[in-house]
Each structure stands twice: as C-alpha cells, then as structure tokens.
Amino acid sequence: MTQYSFPWNDVNGDRLYDADDFMRFFAAFLKTGVVMSYKGGLRVRSAQNGMNIQVGSGSAVIGGSSYLNDADIGIQVNVASSIQDRVDSVVLRMDKNARTTQLFYKPGDTTVARNDTTYELQLATISVKTNATQITDADITDMRSDTTVCGWSTPFDNISVDGIVDQYKIIFEQKDLEFQTWFQNLKNQLDDNQASNLQNQIDNLGSEKANDDEVVHNTGDEDIAGKKNFTDDMKTQNLEVTGKLELPSLKANVTTKEGLILNLYKKGELVICRFGGDIANATSGKVLTGPWVDIPFRPTETQQLMGHFAGRDTSFHIDLKPDGSMIWWGATIGTSPLTSRGNANYFLN
C-alpha cells in the first residue's frame, strides 16, 4: 500500500517534483475532457470556405494535464475521394514522449488512441462525401459530449445513486401500501346510502353556481358597486361618465443649450407644452442641442409646435421628433437673445 501527499517544502533534495506529480494532483479532482464553460469549448465548425473547418478556442484536461487555445484554428480537410465516401475525425492528442498536447486531423480514421504515452479526445467526426468540394456544418458531428471518446471536464465524477433510488423506492412502496389500506378501510365504512349520497354530491359539483344576484352577466343592464381595477386593455362602444374622470398626469421641464425652455404637462395621451426662455445662437433647420425630451413625452410621429417671440409679431415652430430631438424652424438668432412665448398641444399617439 502506497500513501502519497503533495506538496511539501524541499529539504536537501528529498522533495523534488516533476510534471507527473502535478498531473496526478489535478487528475484527482478534474475529469478528463473538454472544459465546457471556457471560451468556444473547442467546438468544430465549418469554415464556410471550401474544404476547410475550424476548431474554436477553448480548454481541455487530459489526465490532469491542461490544454489551452485562445483563438480559432483552421484545418484543411483532405481532398474528397472520387470513388467512395469517408469519415475523418479531429482529435486533441496528448503525447507524453513529445511532451505536448495538440490538435490532429485524422483522415479516414475515427478511432481514438489511448495508451501509456498517447491519449486522444475526439472532438468531432467529418463526413466527406464522394467528390465533395465543400464541408458544411451538416457534415460535422460533435463528439464532445460522448464520454466513450471525449466527455466534459468537471470537478465532479459520476456518482452512483443506486442505493438512494432503492431507498426511495421502498419508501414510496410503503406509502402506497398505507394509502391502499386507508382507502379500503374507508370503503368498508360507507354503507350503500352514504356511498350514493357521496356520488350525488360529486355529480352536482359541475352544475352548482353562485347566487344570480352576486355575479356579473354577459348581457342586460345592471349596477356594479365598488372599486374595480382593470389591468388589461378595455374596448367599449359608448362611454358615459357621470362622476370624475381621472387620467394619469406627469410634468417635466426641458431647457436646451440655446435657451429654449419647454414646460411639459402630460394628461393621459395629451401633452401641453408652454414655451419660455431667451433663445440665442439658433439657425433655421438646426437640431437644438440637448437635453432632449424624455421618453414619456415623446410622440410616435413628428409634431410641429408653434410659438412666438415676446414683443414681436414674428413666430417660430419646432419639429419634435419621436426620438425626443427638436429641430428649430424659426428666424436665425445670433448672440442677442429673443424671448419665447406660446402654448402648443399634441397627442402622443
């Protein structure tokens, strides 16, 4: 029997470690296979370019030895036969003699080599049809999840749950036996009249309904009291309101860098805009610099909002876009500001 522990500080050369020690350490808790969560997972795909494929970036663990690839690697498939189909494969091969782990393309070979010095993980097989001139994704079979030739590297090994399954099976069988015993005892306690009465109650369950004056009917005039909340769309032919109609409201102020102020008041789908502010450095057709109008006040279609200048008989208008931007369509104003006034209304939809 051999007991082994790792690592320890070296004292006069009695603790010298090599790659086998580290591989033994990692193999104890990392299964051999492809690391699913790292980059592209070494997935093999068509390069969409003739007889070419590519292996995605990724990582793998073989017997505790780590392999990393941080970019796609292209592989050219051998020329197709003019006589018969063949099946090739792409493997990740660890060669202890060469002290390396690399991708290998195996034409006409789908076996995996596994011995004392060589260990292969088969990533995919490639069907090369007779006279083929291009490899597509449909020609590639992903073999990474097949544990007989590859598999996934995880910190967990396969755990046998046979004992747990047997234990729960016994519990379920015991509970089923207890239920059957209880049900049989219940049937024995019911005489013919009780059983008949119980059956009648069961039969009447589908026909029973609430009192007629406690439900809302599909047709007819009736009063419905109390507060009701409708959380979805409602469509009605005619609407008569005898009390107060309340609509949600919202306020906002927008001041552009040119000095134009928009005082916005939203009531339902209607927005009332009151202009103010002293405007300067505005030219016709210019998109006014931010901030723009917030989302709750943006129309679904461009709206033309009219205003005028205080103490003048000239007017202006702006185009309010669905994205909240505003285009100035008024007189060109230099550095001497003009005071804006006016009210404008628009619907959001």
Q: Which of 112, 142, 172 is the last residue of a domain?
A: 142
Q: Is residue 5 in a domain?
A: no
Q: Is residue 181 in a domain?
A: no
pLDDT score of 177: 82
pLDDT score of 80: 87
Looking at the fold, whether 253 and 138 belong to one and the same domain comes out as no
d(CA 271, CA 250): 9
Q: What pLDDT digit, counting tens, does each position of 308-333 carry?
A: 998 888 889 999 999 999 999 988 88
Q: How many folded domains does the chain comprise?
A: 2
Q: Is residue 183 in a domain?
A: no
Q: Is residue 27 in a domain?
A: yes
pLDDT score of 261: 93
pLDDT score of 341: 92
- For the domain that residue 132 is a member of, what is the CATH number? 2.60.520
User: Low-confidence residues of the chain, pLDDT below 50?
Assistant: 161
pLDDT score of 19: 65
Q: Is residue 26 in a domain?
A: yes
pLDDT score of 226: 75
- Note the Cα 14 to chain centre separation in Å: 54
Q: What pLDDT digit, counting tens, does each position of 18-31 carry?
A: 666 666 666 555 67
**Distance set, CA 99 to CA 18, 60, 96, 274 (Å):** 13, 16, 5, 79
Question: Which residue range forms the structural domain that includes residue 311?
Answer: 249-347
DSSP string, 60-111: EEETTEEEEE-S-EEEEPPPPPSS--EEEEEEEEEETTTTEEEEEEETT---
Q: Is residue 211 in a domain?
A: no
At 126, is the secondary structure helix, strand, or coil?
Answer: strand
- For the domain that residue 281 is a member of, what is the CATH number? 2.60.40.1830
**Is 56 in contact with 43 (CB distance < 8 Å)?**
yes
- Between CA 311 and CA 316, with CA 313 as vertex, the angle to 5 degrees is 100
Q: Which of 93, 117, 142 is the last residue of a domain?
A: 142
Q: Is residue 37 in a domain?
A: yes
Q: Report residue 325 as tokens.
A: 């931007």
Q: What pLDDT digit, counting tens, does each position of 173-228 carry?
A: 787 888 888 877 776 666 666 666 777 777 776 666 666 666 777 777 777 777 77
Q: Is residue 88 in a domain?
A: yes
Query: Considering the entire predicted model, what is its pTM?
Result: 0.42
Looking at the fold, whether 23 and 138 belong to one and the same domain comes out as yes
Amino acid at 189: Q
Q: Report residue 293 as tokens.
A: 């109008």
